[in-house]
Amino acid sequence: MTMPDLRRDVAAPTSNRVRFRRRRVAVSALVAIATVLVTGTGAGASPPPSTPEPTVIADGLAGPLSIEALRGRSLVSQSFSGTVSTVSSDGTVTDLFSDPEGAEGAAMGPFGTVVYGSRTDDEMTFGDSYVKVRFPWGTTKLLADLGAYERANNPDAGNSYGVQGITDECAAQWPVEQFGPASYSGGIDSHAYKFAVGLFGVYVADAGANAIFFVSWSGHIHTVAVLPPQPVQLPPDPTVMGLPACVAGLTYNFEPVPTDIETTGWFSALVSLLPGGPEDASLGARGSILRLNLWNGATTTVAGGLAGATDLAVGPRGRVFVAEMFGNRISEITKSGLRTVSELPMPSAIDWRSGRLFVTYDAFGSGKVGVLTP
């Protein structure tokens, strides 16, 4: 898998304006954001060790954007090389397989299989996305073509994005070349990013379709939920952002971008969400965790104010932990708010097992796997 073309993705905002185009959670989008943070604001630098640091198990991984903690080892997808690997407790990295179309969100399936996502890029359609199953004997099965399902159904077509209530006269002043259309409905895009494996199939957090899907082991796809738009009120003087004065005080709906799903019962799950648009201080930390009813697709917000919620982990007694990639920290959601568990550079994925948090971090540098006791 070649390194992604950063030019296709939305640039991070400058100090006096905000890019309002869709920020997808393709690998290239995350790299673009991280590059700006590291070289521009310094946010990607190693934070001071004011909190416990992880015990490093492995180093030098190529974009470890997902992790699943197993007995005595962890399953890790190295998204920049399209490789799925295991990392043993003594630090031994064993590459299981590679896929030229990419390998993301790797999760253990039944009978020793591995479920993962791959994606082919296309400038017109933003790519086709697939759910695949790798068998222990080395063959790979295409379980579901989410790109085809998205083209046929476009579940978020009913969502309204962009400036809400804008007049035609005002829309004519909107700088489309810089910020995309003034308002639009959900388009065609698919990116199978993370998975929650169940008894009858797998739940998929699709970061392109803005939805949660369920794929049965026979390959049938069902839309579980279309996630809600993420609103921001535009400032009283939007001209400082390069926007026309007529949008002052109006609401801009960003697209929701699911980055993980963890089931918490037969009919419930937690979903981590990037809010679309910039993740820096220009609009504030707007990432969130949603509780999802798997029966009817209803969502409620569990926590907000997260700076790049790229993964979550559920521990005993309802403890919930979040990797805040752009906040450079692992946080726990508590009744009194967010508690910082550990400050570390660019955490990308976490999982809970046997009283410990397994975390991948420094995702855009020398990718690491570490262990924390929260």
pLDDT at 83: 98
Nearest to 37 by CA among 366, 364, 338: 364
Nearest to 179 by CA among 238, 258, 249: 238
Give the pLDDT confidence of 255-272 residue by residue, as tens digits: 999 999 999 999 999 999
pLDDT at 127: 63
pLDDT at 338: 94
| Residues found in the chain | 374
Give the pLDDT confidence of 178-232 residue by residue, as tens digits: 999 999 999 999 999 999 999 999 999 999 999 999 999 999 999 999 999 999 9
Distance CA 336, CA 84 (A): 38
| Helices within the chain (DSSP H only) | 27-36, 146-153, 168-171, 176-179
Nearest to 343 by CA among 298, 307, 318: 307
pLDDT at 136: 96
Distance CA 77, CA 86 (A): 9
The SS3 assignment for 325 reads helix
Q: Over the Cα atoms of the chain, what is R_g?
A: 20
Q: How far is CA 277 from the centre of its chain?
A: 13
CB < 8 Å & 24+ apart, contacts of 28-33: 28/4, 30/65, 30/310, 30/325, 30/363, 30/364, 31/3, 31/4, 31/6, 31/364, 32/6, 33/279, 33/308, 33/326
Give the pLDDT confidence of 119-154 residue by residue, as tens digits: 886 555 556 899 999 999 999 999 999 999 999 999
pLDDT at 38: 37
Q: Residue 280's pLDDT band (boundaries 50, 70, 90)? A: low
277 vs 106, more confident: 106
CATH architecture for the domain at 6-372? 6 Propeller (2.120)
Distance CA 310, CA 273 (A): 7
Does pLDDT of 33 surpass 70? no
In the block, which residue shows the tokens 């492995």? 58
pLDDT at 180: 92
User: Pairing mode, if any, of strands 221-226 and 128-134?
Assistant: unpaired
Contact 324, 338 (CB under 8 A): no
pLDDT at 181: 96
Q: Residue 24's pLDDT band (boundaries 50, 70, 90)? A: very low
Predicted TM-score (pTM) of the model is 0.87
Q: Residue 31's pLDDT band (boundaries 50, 70, 90)? A: very low
Does pLDDT of 292 surpass 60? yes
Distance CA 15, CA 87 (A): 41
| Helices within 283-360 (DSSP H only) | none
| Average pLDDT value over all residues in the chain | 86
Distance CA 185, CA 133 (A): 32
Residue 23 token pair:
């920020």
Percentage of the chain surpassing pLDDT 90?
Answer: 79
Contact 34, 4 (CB under 8 A): no
Distance CA 198, CA 268 (A): 12
Give the pLDDT confidence of 56-86 residue by residue, as tens digits: 999 999 999 999 999 999 999 999 999 999 9
Percentage of the chain surpassing pLDDT 70?
Answer: 84
| Lowest-confidence region among 250-259, 265-274, 277-286 | 277-286
Does pLDDT of 14 surpass 50? no
pLDDT at 126: 58
Contact 209, 215 (CB under 8 A): no
pLDDT at 310: 96
Nearest to 345 by CA among 133, 6, 34: 34
Residue 161 token pair:
């994005």
16 vs 209, more confident: 209
